[in-house]
């Protein structure tokens, strides 16, 4: 019996697990793969999401131009009441600039100073009273933002009510003993309501912000990227034959797998913590933190299992990288990580239920709007994620054992 | 059952009738061998002869269809962790982590063999010293030359002081200087009492360091023994010494012919041809005779039958052509 064998009893077998774990971390830090996955990717995803959707959530007001050639009551209702009401409040929807002539307004629209310009023609009120109102003009430039739809919505709501006024005038001024048109106009104008009312889209007690939706989506991507570490590391060990050397030392294969999975899990959790930190600093609300933490753990386990399965099907490390990238993006698209499922065809909404992304995204969305029973809300997602973990994890175990055997021949 | 030769030292490894097939193809066919302490056993054969499969079975990484492999002295089956830890394996590939330093690689593999902290520190320094890379130990493997990587590849296998060192073509792609260093190191290890199983298709390496050699082809050991025992497979094999000299005479020819081991002497023009057994022993004696008679030697060459000839004789094909 060699001296090494004699001394082997001095060291706990836990030391072997720690050795593999330590090597994984050291190797990951040295080749920077861990740093990229745990710090760079989450920061990039969180940063891009915050920049892209945080702006939307802050509800920056739409800047519109107004030219009023009319001197009657009805145009005053628009420029003196409707538009100012939309400019007021904590989160004003619009701001306006009044122009004296059409050319100046059109120039301002063209150069982007305003998103669109509303032009009220001369004799508008009189035209309504006469039953032949001239058309309101909406001048739009090349702006593709939300400004034009907002302006159009304001005008649509306003003209709908003007049509009601015109009808009322027609009824009131016809027949014997009819009231004068001007009196009817004044009376109807007093009854006009704001054409557009702004309410937050709410579900429960709080609104679901764009960042609140896309932050978990980006988190899921980060979890998938981190989840590949274990299986890709195993494929690399097989290719460089270090796996053979490890197995020859009588290190149980499950310890190799466990150490690699632990590193992948740790990387996934670390990236999640970093992303939560960034999003929280920018005001994104996720809901009950204990429930969020459990949801992340379950999601990470599912993503690690699925990405490991894809990687282990590959024959080389290069092929594994390509396959897993395709898998990540397909699942992200189907699972609604790039486009909210509510805006996709119904078939995609249904397909999303076959992805861990879809369930995780839905659970995060439900949590972020302040569900009264957060555990109950995420329970179905947790069960499904557990199912994904087992369904993908079982073949992963079988494939990795097969890999261990094939690594020696 | 094929040839089982007695080993020079106490048996360390006993392989009995191992067979391994993949479908219809038999990769290893009833191979048996015994390796003793301080012995270097060479497995000589072309690519696909079954060398690597034999090695994987011997290291316990592959299970044979039949037969057994055990480690002395307790006859522990090589698949047991206990026995496996007495084996050091040097794969044909550079099985190291490029982004880690040599010392970090050694420490990692040493920890897998569960060396205690103190012993690990000592052994890492010892093996670094033995392969002559102490001064480069803290540099990443990716910065090493091919030969340096090969030396660390061997050092890893020696960390836990194995009683059997198994090397699978450890000099592939190595420059001549590093190759010589590796072979010198293996000779030292052999002389220190470690049993070595060495596979190669480089005959000069096998002839240099192996005390016994098995010729393997198509999964079978065709012959095994010392170099001279294998050469005996050729029948009456003779070394051939050729000298270019002036002033040769009949008495000189008679004296050379009388030397022990000389079979024939022929002198044509300025060329003297001597055939006989063991040129290494004969050559100094011949030169002494020539010198005594004032014969000037302008040139000499020695031709000895080699393992290539043995392989050709046994298989009907040249080793390098397969």
CA distance B69 to B32: 9
CA distance A239 to A243: 8
Tally of domains in chain B: 2
Encoded tokens for B85:
């830890």
Encoded tokens for A306:
């699925």
Element (H, E) at A296: helix A289-313
CB A310 within 8 A of CB A330: no
Q: What is the pLDDT of residue A11?
A: 43
- Inter-axis angle of helices A14-30 and A253-281, to 10 degrees? 50
Q: CB–CB of A11 and B116 under 8 A?
A: yes
Q: CB–CB of A248 and B89 under 8 A?
A: yes
Q: CB–CB of B161 and A2 under 8 A?
A: yes
CA A376, A381, A382, A387 torsion: positive or negative?
positive
Q: What is the pLDDT of residue B123?
A: 94
Q: Which residues of A touch B159 (CB under 8 A)?
A: 4
Q: CB–CB of B104 and A250 under 8 A?
A: no
Q: Does A11 touch chain B (CB under 8 A)?
A: yes
Instruction: Identify which of B84, B100, B162 has the shortest CB distance to residue A250.
Output: B84
Give the nearest chain B residue to A29 (CA atoms).
B99
Determine whether A242 is exposed, middle or buried from the number of CB atoms within 10 Å of its CB (0-12, 13-18, 19+): buried
Q: CB–CB of A8 and B113 under 8 A?
A: yes
Q: What is the pLDDT of residue B138?
A: 95
Q: What is the pLDDT of residue A265?
A: 86
CA distance B25 to B49: 12
Do B77 and B193 fall within a single domain?
yes
Name residue, tokens 């000069």.
B204
Q: What is the pLDDT of residue B236?
A: 66
Do B266 and B138 fall within a single domain?
no
Determine whether A77 is exposed, middle or buried from the number of CB atoms within 10 Å of its CB (0-12, 13-18, 19+): buried
CB B97 within 8 A of CB A263: no
Question: Residue B42: helix, strand or coil by DSSP?
Answer: strand
Count of CB pairs separated by less than 8 Å, A with B: 105
Q: CB–CB of B85 and A7 under 8 A?
A: no
Query: Has residue B309 been placed in a domain?
Result: no
Q: What is the pLDDT of residue B210?
A: 93
Supply the CATH number for residue B66's domain.
Answer: 3.40.50.300
- Inter-axis angle of helices B117-130 and B102-112, to 10 degrees? 130
Q: What is the pLDDT of residue A236?
A: 84
Q: What is the pLDDT of residue B97?
A: 93
Do B286 and B159 fall within a single domain?
no
Do B226 and B261 fall within a single domain?
no
Query: For testing the chain A interface, which of B81, B97, B114, B116 should be mutated: the one with the most A CBs within 10 Å?
Result: B114
- Long-range Cβ pairs for the range B130-137 (8 Å, 24+): B130/B155, B130/B158, B130/B185, B130/B188, B131/B155, B131/B181, B131/B185, B132/B181, B133/B102, B136/B102, B137/B101, B137/B102, B137/B103
Q: What is the pLDDT of residue B128?
A: 95
Q: CB–CB of B113 and A4 under 8 A?
A: yes
Let me know how long chain A is: 409
Encoded tokens for A214:
């896309």
Do B246 and B211 fall within a single domain?
no
> From the CB of residue B322, how many other CB atoms can be counted at a distance below 10 Å?
15
Q: CB–CB of B100 and A30 under 8 A?
A: yes
Q: CB–CB of B61 and A408 under 8 A?
A: yes
- Inter-axis angle of helices B279-292 and B250-257, to 10 degrees? 150
> From the CB of residue B192, how many other CB atoms can be counted at a distance below 10 Å?
9
Query: Has residue B314 been placed in a domain?
Result: no
CB B113 within 8 A of CB A8: yes
Q: CA dist A385 to A224, A258, A394, Å?
A: 14, 20, 14
CB A275 within 8 A of CB A42: yes
Q: Does A401 touch chain B (CB under 8 A)?
A: no
Instruction: Identify which of B93, B98, B161 has the shortest CB distance to residue A241.
Output: B93
DSSP A341: G
Going by C-alpha positions, the residue among B196, B146, B200, B195 that lies closest to residue B169 is B200
DSSP B278: -
Q: Which residues of A touch B82 (CB under 8 A)?
A: 5
Let me know how long chain B is: 322
ipTM higher than the 0.90 cut? no
Does the domain at A60-202 match CATH 2.115.10? Answer given as no
Q: What is the pLDDT of residue A58?
A: 53
Determine whether A373 is exposed, middle or buried from the number of CB atoms within 10 Å of its CB (0-12, 13-18, 19+): exposed
Do B245 and B149 fall within a single domain?
no
Question: Residue B125: helix, strand or coil by DSSP?
Answer: helix
Query: Has residue B320 been placed in a domain?
Result: no
Per the omega criterion (within 30 degrees of 0), is the bond before B73 cis? yes
Do B46 and B168 fall within a single domain?
yes
Q: Which of residues 14-43 of A touch B (CB under 8 A)?
A: 15-16, 18-20, 22-23, 26-27, 30-31
Nearest-Cα distance to chain B for A2, in Å, is 6
Q: Which residues of chain B have pLDDT under 70?
A: 1-9, 235-236, 317-322
The whole domain housing B60 covers: 11-233
CA distance A350 to A229: 30
Q: Which residues of B touch A251 (CB under 8 A)?
A: 112
Question: Residue A227: helix, strand or coil by DSSP?
Answer: helix
Name residue, tokens 């290069």.
A318
For chain A, which residues make up each domain, given as ranges?
24-55+210-406, 60-202
Query: For testing the chain A interface, which of B58, B65, B97, B166 should be mutated: the one with the most A CBs within 10 Å?
Result: B97
Query: Has residue B227 been placed in a domain?
Result: yes
Question: Residue B315: helix, strand or coil by DSSP?
Answer: helix
Query: Has residue B3 been placed in a domain?
Result: no
Interstrand relation of B195-200 and A137-140 (parallel, antiparallel or unpaired): unpaired
Q: What is the pLDDT of residue B38?
A: 92
Cα angle value B117/B140/A222 (rounded, 5°) = 90
Q: B interface toward A at CB cutoff 8 Å? A: 53, 56, 59-62, 74, 81-82, 84-87, 89, 91, 93-100, 104, 108-109, 111-116, 119, 156, 159-163
Q: Does A8 touch chain B (CB under 8 A)?
A: yes
- Residue ending a domain, among B233, B255, B273, is B233
Supply the CATH number for residue B254's domain.
Answer: 3.30.70.100
CA distance A30 to B99: 6
Element (H, E) at A390: helix A374-406
Q: Which residues of chain A have pLDDT under 70?
A: 1-13, 52-61, 89-92, 142-146, 165-211, 342-343, 369-371, 405-409
Query: Has residue B136 been placed in a domain?
Result: yes
Query: Has residue B164 been placed in a domain?
Result: yes
Q: CB–CB of A409 and B56 under 8 A?
A: yes
Q: Which residues of B touch A249 (CB under 8 A)?
A: 84-85, 109, 112-113, 160
CB B15 within 8 A of CB B195: no
CA distance A29 to A263: 11
CA distance B150 to B146: 6
Query: Has residue B4 been placed in a domain?
Result: no
Q: Which residues of B touch A247 (CB under 8 A)?
A: 61
Instruction: Identify which of A11, A241, A245 has the shortest CB distance to residue B114.
Output: A11
């Amino acid at each position: 019996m060699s001296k090494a064998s004699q001394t082997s009893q001095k060291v706990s077998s836990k030391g072997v697990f720690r050795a593999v774990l330590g090597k994984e971390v050291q190797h990951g830090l040295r080749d920077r793969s861990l740093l990229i996955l745990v710090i760079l990717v989450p920061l990039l995803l969180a940063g891009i999401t915050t920049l892209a959707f945080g702006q939307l959530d802050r509800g920056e007001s739409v800047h519109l131009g107004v030219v009023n050639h009319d001197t009657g009551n009805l145009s005053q209702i628009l420029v003196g009441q409707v538009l100012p009401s939309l400019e007021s409040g904590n989160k004003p929807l619009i701001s306006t600039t009044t122009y004296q002539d059409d050319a100046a307004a059109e120039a301002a629209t063209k150069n982007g100073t305003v998103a669109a310009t509303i032009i009220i023609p001369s004799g508008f009120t009189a035209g309504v009273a006469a039953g032949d109102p001239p058309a309101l003009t909406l001048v739009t430039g090349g702006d593709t933002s939300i400004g034009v739809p907002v302006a159009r919505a304001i005008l649509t709501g306003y003209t709908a009510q003007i049509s009601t006024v015109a009808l009322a005038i027609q009824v009131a001024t016809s027949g014997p003993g009819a009231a004068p048109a001007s009196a009817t106009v004044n009376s109807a104008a007093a009854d006009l309501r704001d054409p557009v009312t702004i309410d937050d889209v709410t579900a429960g007690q709080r609104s679901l912000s764009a960042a609140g939706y896309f932050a978990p989506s980006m988190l899921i991507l980060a979890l998938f990227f981190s989840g590949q570490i274990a299986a890709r590391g195993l494929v690399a060990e097989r290719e460089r034959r270090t796996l053979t050397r490890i197995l020859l030392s009588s290190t149980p294969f499950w310890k190799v797998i466990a150490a690699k999975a632990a590193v992948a899990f740790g990387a996934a959790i670390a990236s999640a913590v970093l992303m939560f930190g960034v999003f929280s600093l920018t005001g994104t609300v996720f809901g009950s933190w204990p429930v969020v933490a459990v949801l992340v753990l379950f999601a990470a386990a599912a993503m690690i299992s699925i990405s490991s399965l894809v990687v282990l099907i590959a024959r080389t490390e290069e092929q594994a990288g390509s396959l897993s990238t395709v898998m990540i993006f397909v699942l992200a698209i189907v699972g609604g990580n790039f486009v909210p499922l509510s805006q996709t065809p119904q078939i995609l909404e249904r397909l999303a239920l076959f992805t861990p992304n879809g369930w995780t995204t839905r659970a995060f969305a439900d949590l972020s709007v302040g569900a009264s029973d957060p555990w109950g809300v995420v329970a179905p997602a947790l069960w499904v994620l557990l199912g994904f973990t087992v369904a993908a994890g079982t073949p992963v175990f079988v494939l990795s054992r097969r890999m261990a055997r094939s690594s020696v021949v | 059952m094929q040839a089982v030769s007695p080993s020079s030292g106490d048996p360390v490894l006993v392989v009995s009738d191992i067979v391994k097939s993949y479908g219809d193809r038999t990769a290893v066919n009833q191979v048996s061998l015994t390796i003793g302490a301080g012995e270097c056993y060479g497995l000589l054969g072309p690519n696909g002869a079954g060398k690597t499969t034999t090695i994987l079975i011997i290291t316990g990484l592959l299970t044979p269809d039949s037969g057994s492999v055990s480690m002395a002295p307790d006859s522990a089956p090589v698949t047991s962790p206990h026995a496996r830890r007495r084996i050091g394996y040097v794969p044909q590939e550079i099985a190291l982590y490029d982004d880690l330093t040599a010392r970090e690689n050694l420490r990692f593999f040493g920890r897998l063999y569960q060396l205690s902290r103190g012993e690990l520190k000592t052994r890492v320094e010892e093996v670094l010293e033995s392969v002559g890379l102490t001064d480069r130990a803290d540099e990443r493997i990716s910065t090493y030359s091919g030969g340096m990587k090969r030396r660390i590849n061997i050092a890893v296998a020696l960390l836990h002081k194995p009683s059997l060192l198994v090397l699978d073509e450890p000099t592939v792609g190595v420059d001549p200087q590093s190759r010589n260093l590796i072979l010198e190191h293996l000779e030292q290890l052999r002389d220190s009492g470690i049993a070595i199983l060495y596979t190669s298709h480089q005959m000069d390496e096998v002839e240099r360091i192996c005390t016994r050699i098995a010729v393997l082809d198509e999964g079978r050991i065709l012959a095994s023994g010392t170099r001279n025992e294998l050469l005996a497979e050729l029948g009456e094999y003779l070394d051939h010494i050729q000298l270019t000299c002036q002033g040769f005479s009949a008495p000189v020819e008679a004296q050379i012919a009388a030397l022990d081991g000389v079979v024939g002497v022929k002198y044509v023009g300025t060329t003297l041809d001597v055939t006989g057994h063991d040129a290494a022993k004969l050559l100094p004696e011949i030169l002494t005779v020539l010198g005594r008679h004032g014969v000037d030697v302008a040139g000499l060459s020695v031709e000895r039958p080699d393992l290539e000839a043995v392989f050709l004789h046994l298989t009907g094909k040249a080793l390098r052509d397969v």
